């Protein structure tokens, strides 16, 4: 839905917060909402991983389940390691925020890592499903498509890297 305001004038009393202070207010909560993107990415990746794991055990090729092939099993190992890492990064940044501590850098790291991890996990899950991954019989292609936006909204991956590096360099006067 697009809202358009033509010739719309408000008195200062009708403005929520300070006049010209909207960007600052937005920045205050924008950092925190990024945790929800990270958490959603972790949740989706775990659901996707269940499909990858089960399919690896069920699907048989060359006389054995495809999970027996190292090319597949190592992907599963990488996936669960990255999911757990993203989960802990997300929880730790949320904990810092809950404690009232500055957590901008940690939240940006969680959003960056979790959304990039989701892209890798959904892609690997689709690959493990082979041609079936692109069919409507499984929700995999939907997971894969939906994952793309997580690296864009609430600040692109490049912007998260900008925030992270800025927080590191600023105390050094750079």
- Please identify, using beta-carbon distances, which residue of 29 and 62 lies nearer to ligand FAD: 29
- In the complex, the smallest distance separating the C-beta of residue 105 from ligand FAD, rounded to whole angstroms, is 17
Kindly report the length of the chain: 174
Question: By CB under 6 A, what part of segment 92-151 binds ligand FAD?
Answer: 149
- Please identify, using beta-carbon distances, which residue of 2 and 172 lies nearer to ligand FAD: 2
- Please identify, using beta-carbon distances, which residue of 64 and 166 lies nearer to ligand FAD: 166
| Binding of residue 156 to ligand FAD (CB under 6 A) | yes
| Binding of residue 158 to ligand FAD (CB under 6 A) | yes
- In the complex, the smallest distance separating the C-beta of residue 143 from ligand FAD, rounded to whole angstroms, is 16
Phi, psi of 5 (to 5 degrees): -120, 115
- In the complex, the smallest distance separating the C-beta of residue 42 from ligand FAD, rounded to whole angstroms, is 19
Place of tokens 């899950």: 125
What crossing angle do the helices spanning 70-98 and 22-58 adopt, rounded to 10°?
Answer: 150
Q: Which of 171, 163, 165, 166 is nearest to 34 (CA)?
A: 163
What crossing angle do the helices spanning 104-128 and 70-98 adopt, rounded to 10°?
Answer: 160
Per rule CB under 6 A, count of chain residues that contact ligand FAD? 9
Phi, psi of 60 (to 5 degrees): -110, 135
**Residues interacting with ligand FAD, by CB under 6 A?**
149, 152-156, 158-159, 162
């Amino acid at each position: 839905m697009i809202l358009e305001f033509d010739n719309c004038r408000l008195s200062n009393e009708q403005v929520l917060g300070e006049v010209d202070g909207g960007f600052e207010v937005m920045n205050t909560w924008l950092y925190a909402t990024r945790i929800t993107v990270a958490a959603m990415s972790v949740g989706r990746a775990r659901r996707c991983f269940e499909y990858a794991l089960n399919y690896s055990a069920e699907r048989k090729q060359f006389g054995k389940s495809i999970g027996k092939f190292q090319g597949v099993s190592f992907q599963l190992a990488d996936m669960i390691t990255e999911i757990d890492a993203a989960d802990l990064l997300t929880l730790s940044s949320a904990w810092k925020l809950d404690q009232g501590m500055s957590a901008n850098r940690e939240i940006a790291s969680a959003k960056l890592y979790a959304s990039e991890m989701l892209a890798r996990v959904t892609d690997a899950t689709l690959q493990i499903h082979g041609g079936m991954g692109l069919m409507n019989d499984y929700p995999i292609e939907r997971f894969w498509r939906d994952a793309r936006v997580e690296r864009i909204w609430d600040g692109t991956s490049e912007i998260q890297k900008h925030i992270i590096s800025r927080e590191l360099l600023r105390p050094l006067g750079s």
